[in-house]
Amino acid sequence: MSMTRRTLLATAVATLTALPATAHHGWRWTDGGQFELTGVVTAADLGNPHGVLSIDADGETWTAEVGQPWRNERAGLNDEMLAPGAELTLLGERSGNPDERLMKAEAIVIDGETYALYPERL
């Protein structure tokens, strides 16, 4: 295989394998407006590439993306604060698809204390 074909093949493979990883990263999938959700955490997966919480809000289950582990820690949060049973308010942006119960949190309010995950966006 020539060097050009090998380079082209490697680039194609790298591009295709990266596509699923970019599915919900960034903010382009959100509606761009401010959204507030208050509820109780029912499940939490706080690993990389970012944490995901399931929230029961008035009988509806919402999915909320929170920060990467380092971002949560920098904001002053720990895993116990986001564990199932925690009551909180999430401030951020909801999905641009109104049929999805999905949001990305910019800040989390717990017991009246605000933890800014993305202070530059508040």
- Asked, for residue 99, whether it belongs to a domain, the answer is yes
Q: What is the CATH number of the domain that holds 48?
A: 2.40.50.1010
Do the beta carbons of residue 30 and residue 104 sit within 8 Å? yes
Let me know if residue 13 belongs to a domain. no
What local confidence, expressed as pLDDT, does residue 4 receive?
Answer: 63
Largest Cα separation within the chain, whole Å, is 63
Q: How far apart are CA 42 and CA 85, in angstroms?
A: 6
Q: Establish if 11 belongs to a structural domain.
A: no
Task: Domain count for the chain, please give it.
Answer: 1
* Mean pLDDT computed over every residue of the chain: 86
122 pLDDT band (50/70/90 cuts)? Answer: confident
* Inside any domain, residue 20: no
User: Has residue 53 been placed in a domain?
Assistant: yes
User: Are the CB atoms for 68 and 48 separated by under 8 Å?
Assistant: yes
Answer whether residue 2 shows pLDDT above 70. Answer: no
Q: Give the rounded percent of residues in the chain with a pLDDT score beyond 90.
A: 73
Q: Is residue 66 part of a domain?
A: yes
The pTM assigned to this predicted structure is: 0.78
Phi, psi of 97 (to 5 degrees): -95, 110
For 54-72, write each residue's pLDDT tens digit. 999 999 999 999 999 999 9
Q: Using CA atoms, how far apart are residues 39 and 21, in angstroms rounded to an integer?
A: 28
Provide the residue range defining the domain that includes 112. Answer: 27-121
* Residue 8, in any domain of the structure: no
pLDDT band at 42 (very low <50, low <70, confident <90, very high): very high
Q: Does 70 reside within a domain? A: yes
Do 94 and 30 contact (CB within 8 A), yes or no? yes
